[in-house]
Structures are given as structure tokens and as C-alpha cells.
Amino acid sequence: MPQYSSADSVAGRLTRWPAFPYGVWVRVSLWASVTVVAVLFGWGAWQRRWIADDGLIVLRTTRNMLAGNGPVFNAGERVEANTSTAWSYLMYLGGLVSGSARLEYVALTFALLLSVLGIVLVMLGTARLYAPTLRGRQALLLPAGALVYIAVPPARDFATSGLENGLVLAYLGLLWWMMVCWSQAPRGQRTSRAFDLTLAGVAGFSVLVRPELALVGGLALVMVLVATQGWRRRALIVVAGGLLPVAYQIFRMGYYGLLFPGTALAKDATGAKWQQGFTYLANFNQPYLLWAPAVLLIGLAVMVLLLCGRPSRGVRPVRRDTGWPARAVQSPTAVVVFILVSGILQAAYWIRQGGDFMHGRVLLTPLFCLLAPVAVIPLMLPDGRRMARGAGYLYAGATSVLWLAVAGWSLWTANSPGMGSDATRVTYTGIVDERRFYAQATGHAHPLTAADYLDYPRMRAVVTAIENTPDGALLLPSGNYDMWDVVPAYPPPPDAPPDYVGPHTVFFTNLGMLGMNVGLDVRVIDQIGLANPLAAHTARIEDGRIGHDKNLFPDWAVAEGPFFKEKPYIPSYLDEDWIRQAEAALKCPETESVLTAIRAPMGARRFLSNLLHAAEFTRYRIDRVPLYELRRCGLPIPEPVNAPYTGLPPTGP
């Protein structure tokens, strides 16, 4: 074991890589733990590999970007259908680099690698947290919280899935590691300007990973600002932390005409569904008894504090008094509090939101944060230096028993059936095991590509229906899973070329599988509002299924398109009067302004107008019932198609 001649050399060693130089057993056990957990997580995630329908939504946007249509879901309609800006552009970059490789495989590769990287970074960050207390002591660093995380089945499900969960893990792992490094700067000394600015940039980037992660990154940025001395350096930190997110926010407001992603508008992210949120929390906890590892990990944390003492800065020279607030904030204890508070805030946010319709997905982030301080734990080998040898054996034995209990729970949970028989059924909770649902519905154990989803009900039929309607049509889902109801488009103009293909619009919930199996010239919209601007601006249905609690009637899709609007061309479940009323309601001046903001050609004037009116457009709501929308706008009601006989002369609107 190396010896150090001065406190300065100790301080220097702790601020350089590697961060944990004390003792062969510490280093070997740490890297062994990291390797084993990374391999187990990667292998477990690969065994459950898949691409979700929502993951395919991202790839439809990627296809449009690669085709030169911009970051949109439908060409000519600027709708931000993806929540994670960083994930969207990472997929675009992957598509550019990979060339002819399938985008699904690009998403799978990035998601898996980033998920494993996240678990590695969080373990290294926690190991560094305990490095000062392990100086000169014999100990083993064992995985604890990291084992708990990878054991939970949804963690392995969403390690692939084509969604941004892997990016979130990598981001949080990096931020945790950097915050621990920052907290261990020698007392009285500053971390380097480059490190502080990089940390500020990483913290500010949070909102581009996912909007709600601003609660995490923003708190980290505030801590760095409090600990920083000098207004000039603070100004640089603000610029580093805010430059990229502010620049993108300006772009979002000017390009999309909204203050936040379209997905947040579609799901009314500012709303509150506490009761559903607690139902979601119970749904996540019940199959795995998550309270059990929580109790065990708290016990391990207590053992660590008793054996190691509070994580401290070690022996450092005091060269300049930076003041109590700075010393208190830039400390390992404060950073541990930071990550725990971040986890609690994330959990509270999602419970307030009502959770999600995918089992466990949105609670993985708070779980990851709460487990970070005990991702690994030191098993101190008794040496008689800090306590009597007998007490040392007692504490080491208690720690070993608790750790074995955590390992046993992890093994049991890793093989848990999860939601059991309710996994693929949409019950009153609205929550399903999304991976198992689509594996069952498609007949593929690992649905990875858009082609795999052609075996989902209606998917092959929609491709056939588009081929059979060269003059264009609106396709609506039929009660028969092998058919689509067709509303024909207006006939082509007399001077249309021989190879003319009319406009196609498909109105369906599953945007990802649909959008990736049809051409980019086909407009794909939904009743929920993820890709449909009209549906997005309707009010949230209070008792609707979580994540699907907007429902625009298909009459609007007929009304706004170049499709026949009367019988016998429309299905029997559509109403001619509703269609005529919806057509009239689309002329509401405020609605026209919202639609013009995203459909008119983009130029400097349009960008500036959207920028100035983004808040107004974000607040705007329409009524999904055409008659009520006409009354809200003060527009005349069209004459009924088949007015009932009253014996009275007809009256005006």
C-alpha cells in the first residue's frame, strides 16, 4: 500500500484518477464489482431486448430529419412528438454515421450501451465518495444499490426499448460522479475553472435529456453557484449551464410555437392525478416488495457510517476560508443529500402526474437516484484501528448478513413474474407490462424492428389499404382487425400526372409502428395528440387512461382533410353534421393561428411570430365536441343535413 509524505500529496491523489488508490483489496473488489454488475445488467437487458412503439415514434422523427424534412413527425407539420431532445438528435447522429443500418438497431445499440455506462458511472461515483474514509484500511467494495436496480425487471426492460431511459441513466451516473469529484476538492482550494464549467454544462443539459430532469440539474447548478467565489466566475457558470438549453428553448418556441415538447402538451404535464400516481407506485412496488431492499439498504448505510464514519474530505490544508455556505454546499454530505432529494423530487413529480401506462418506467429514475449513495458499500475488514477487534468482527458480520439479504432479494426479484396475469391486460389501472404486451400481440419474443410490428393487429392491413387507394384516402381503424375503414379523397385534378398518388392520412393510436411501416408522404395522426396538433390542444379527460387521456373524434380528421364528407363515403359511425360543424369550427381565428404557426412555411417572420406567441399557443385549448367548439368561438352553426320536421319555417343559424 503506497505511503504519502504530506497532506498535500493525499489531496493531490484524491483529485486525480484513479479516485480510489487505497489498498489492493479495495481496488480489486471495486473493479470486480463493476465488471460483474455491468455484465449482468447488459446480459439481462439483452435477454429482454425489444423496441417499444414509443421508441419507433422517435425513429419516425429521425427518418424525417435524415430526409431533410426537419425534426418533425409528419412532413410539413412542425410537431415535437418526442420528449427527449437529446435522444432525438442522438438517433439522428447515429443514423448519419451508420448509413444503411436499420435505425432500430442503432437505437438498440445506443440504449443498451448507455444503460450499462450509467450503472458503471454511478458505482464509480459512489466508490469515490468513500475513498477518503478507506485510506489505509482493508475493505471490500461490494455492489448493493446497483444490484437492487438491475434486479428490478422494468430496469432491464427499459435498458433497451428504443426510449431515452439508457440516456437518462448515463446522464445521472455522470452527474453523480462529477458532483462527488467536485465535493472532494481540497478545502480552501477551488476546483479548476474547466471542471466547474464542464459540471455546469452537464447540469444545464438535464432539461434536454428530459424536461423534468431540470429539477436535478437545476439543483446541481445552484449548488455550484453557491460554492463559487467571485461574480465573474459565477457569470461564466451561468452561461455554461444555460447556453445550450436556452438556445434550444428559443428554437423550440420559434419552430414549434410551444414552451415545452408537444408530448407534454398532449399529456397536460402540468396537471395533477395524485390518486392514479399512488396506484402507479403501488403497482411498481407490489410485485417486487421494494420496501424490503429499502430497509436492508438503510441498515447497510447505518453500518457504513458506524464502521467508516461520515465521508469526509480527508486531511487537507486549509489555505483560504471560503465561508460557511460554500463549505457546507461543496461537501460529500451535501452531495449525498442532493441526490436523495433529487430522487424524492422525481418521485413526487411522477406521482403527481399520475405515473404512466407502462409498468415501472417513470419510477426507474427516482429509484436510480435514491440508490446512488449505496450503489456500492464498503465491507470493512476488522483491523483494530478504529474500534476493538471484537466489535469490528461484529459490525463486519452484520454488514455481511445485510448484504447477503440484499443479494438474495435481488436474485428472487430478477426471476419475478412481475405483474403476473395482469401484465398484458388493460385493467382499471390502465397499466401494463409494455414489453410483454407487444411480445404477445406481435407473436415475437423480441419485437425489434418495424417489420416485426407488421404482425400487430391492423398493421399489414394498413399497408395494403394504402396500396389499394392510389387516389388518396383517410384510413380509420375498423372493428375488424384485418380491415380499415376508408374515406376516399377528392378525385385527382384533371391535369394530374399518370403516376399521381393522392394524399393519405391514417388515424390511429399506435403512432410508432404505423409511422415506421408507411412512407413519409403518409400523414400519421392520433386521437391522443402526440402527433395531432388538434388533439393536443383539447382538454384532458379526467378519468381517461393515464397517458391516453385525450380523445379527439375522427370526425375532425375528415373535416380538415381533402376527403369526402358525406354518406355513403363515410363510415356509419361518423355523423355528417358533426363533420360539417368541425369543418366550420376549424375557421375559428385562434385555431387558425395555432395551426398556421406549425403549418405555414418557416421563415424569419414566422419564427419571430411563433416566438412571441408561444405562451399563448401553449395555453390554447379547443373543445373536442364540434358543436361546443362553435359556441366557444362564437361561430354560426351550420344548417343540419337532415333537419327534423317541425312544421315551422326554417330559421337561420
- Cell numbers 393522392 correspond to what residue? 502
The reply to whether 129 falls in a domain is yes
Same domain as 519, residue 408: no
- DSSP, collapsed to helix, strand or coil, labels residue 605 as helix
- Confidence band, pLDDT 50/70/90 cuts, at residue 628: very high
Same domain as 387, residue 510: no
For residues 573-587, give the mean pLDDT: 95
Percent of the chain predicted with pLDDT > 90: 73
- DSSP, collapsed to helix, strand or coil, labels residue 140 as strand
How many separate domains does the chain show? 2
Same domain as 214, residue 290: yes
Same domain as 489, residue 406: no
The reply to whether 53 falls in a domain is no
The reply to whether 99 falls in a domain is no
The reply to whether 20 falls in a domain is no
Q: Output the pLDDT for position 187.
A: 59
Longest dimension (CA), the chain: 108
- Contact in structure between 216 and 366 (CB atoms under 8 Å): no
- Confidence band, pLDDT 50/70/90 cuts, at residue 384: low
Same domain as 454, residue 408: no
Grid coordinates representing 232 are 465573474
Dist CA 576 CA 567 (whole Å) = 7
Of 603, 623, 597, give the one whose Cα is nearest residue 259.
Answer: 597
The reply to whether 120 falls in a domain is yes
The reply to whether 11 falls in a domain is no
Same domain as 403, residue 547: no
What domain range includes position 242? 106-262+275-309+325-415
Same domain as 392, residue 456: no
Same domain as 481, residue 378: no
Grid coordinates representing 109 are 445499440
Instruction: Please give the residue that has the higher pLDDT: either 546 or 651.
Output: 546
- DSSP, collapsed to helix, strand or coil, labels residue 63 as helix
Q: What are the b/e assignments for 293-315, b being 16+ CB within 10 Å?
A: beebbebbbebbeebbeebebbb
The reply to whether 12 falls in a domain is no
Same domain as 460, residue 399: no
Sign of the torsion angle spanned by Cα atoms 273, 274, 279, 285: positive
Q: Per mean pLDDT, which range of 10-14, 246-250, 358-362 is the poorest? A: 10-14
Of 445, 452, 481, give the one whose Cα is nearest residue 465.
Answer: 481
Q: Output the pLDDT for position 637.
A: 93
On average, the pLDDT of the chain sits at 89
Same domain as 352, residue 486: no
The reply to whether 354 falls in a domain is yes
Q: Which of 389, 415, 441 is a domain's end point? A: 415
pLDDT in tens, 271-295: 788 999 999 999 999 999 999 999 9
Dist CA 67 CA 98 (whole Å) = 15
pLDDT in tens, 41-91: 999 999 999 999 999 999 999 999 999 999 999 999 999 999 999 999 999
Same domain as 472, residue 352: no
Q: What is the dihedral of CA 339, 144, 138, 131, to 10 degrees?
A: -20
pLDDT in tens, 96-153: 999 888 999 999 999 999 999 999 999 999 999 998 887 767 888 999 999 999 999 9
pLDDT in tens, 4-22: 333 344 344 444 444 454 5
pTM of the model: 0.91
Q: Output the pLDDT for position 492.
A: 86
Same domain as 157, residue 294: yes
